Amino acid sequence: MTGDRNAIIGFLAALLGRDPRASDVLWVTQEPALPVHRLTRFGLDHRRLTIVSARRADDRSWSIEEGLGELGYETVVAEIDNTDLAETRRLQLAAEKSGGIGFLLCRGHQPSAALTRWRIEPARSDGYRSCWHLSLERCRNTATNLSWSVEWDDATLSFRLVSDRLSEQELAVA
């Protein structure tokens, strides 16, 4: 995943908070702290999270592989800076072998063996709901350059597909 870091974190928190299979989530970051309060706002219970903060890229890579492998996490979210095709292939194989899912948050476009590549950016909203613009940039054996805008409903803890442009009347309500 590429795009705005805060938008990606919010969207993943909402997505994983709704997924009953994501009972335990390993989140690997280089930042000293992850905004856990933002994650819980979107339904991702902080008690389901194990956060690893590692400055060195090698330590983050090791944590990701161990999380998907020996430690048995079903879901691993990893923030990485620079990677290469061989490293992402190793991570893809670890996810396939374990049956888990890995989300790589990358800065910019980098070579990747991931099955899909998404760009996530904040989208215009009415001021009350979080809104994201999702673009599928790469997907094996499928059409790409598809995009959607979704909004988060705090009351129902669910997504709603919205049009790309809110009308002036909808924006005036805010």
Confidence of residue 164 (pLDDT cuts 50, 70, 90): low
And the tokens for 163? Answer: 């049009």
Q: Check pLDDT > 80 for residue 110.
A: no
Whether 132 and 122 have beta carbons less than 8 Å apart is answered as yes
At 167 the pLDDT is 44
* Architecture category of domain 2-173 in CATH: 3-Layer(aba) Sandwich (3.40)
Q: Which secondary-structure segment (H or E) carries 95?
A: helix 85-98
pLDDT in tens, 78-89: 988 777 788 888
Please report, for residues 66, 105, 123, 134, the alpha-carbon distance to residue 4 in angstroms, rounded to integers and kept in the order given. 27, 10, 11, 11
Query: What is the reported pTM?
Result: 0.84
**For the residues 7-17, what does the mean pLDDT come to?**
92
Per-residue burial over 95-131, b = 16 or more CB atoms within 10 Å of its CB, e = otherwise: beebebbbbbbbeeebebbbeebbbbbbbebeeeebb
- Which percentage of the chain shows pLDDT scores above 90? 28
At 29, is the secondary structure helix, strand, or coil? strand
Q: Check pLDDT > 60 for residue 172.
A: no
- Tokens 């669910």: give the residue: 158
Strands 116-122 and 101-106: unpaired
Tell me the domain boundaries of the chain. 2-173
- Which percentage of the chain shows pLDDT scores above 70? 94
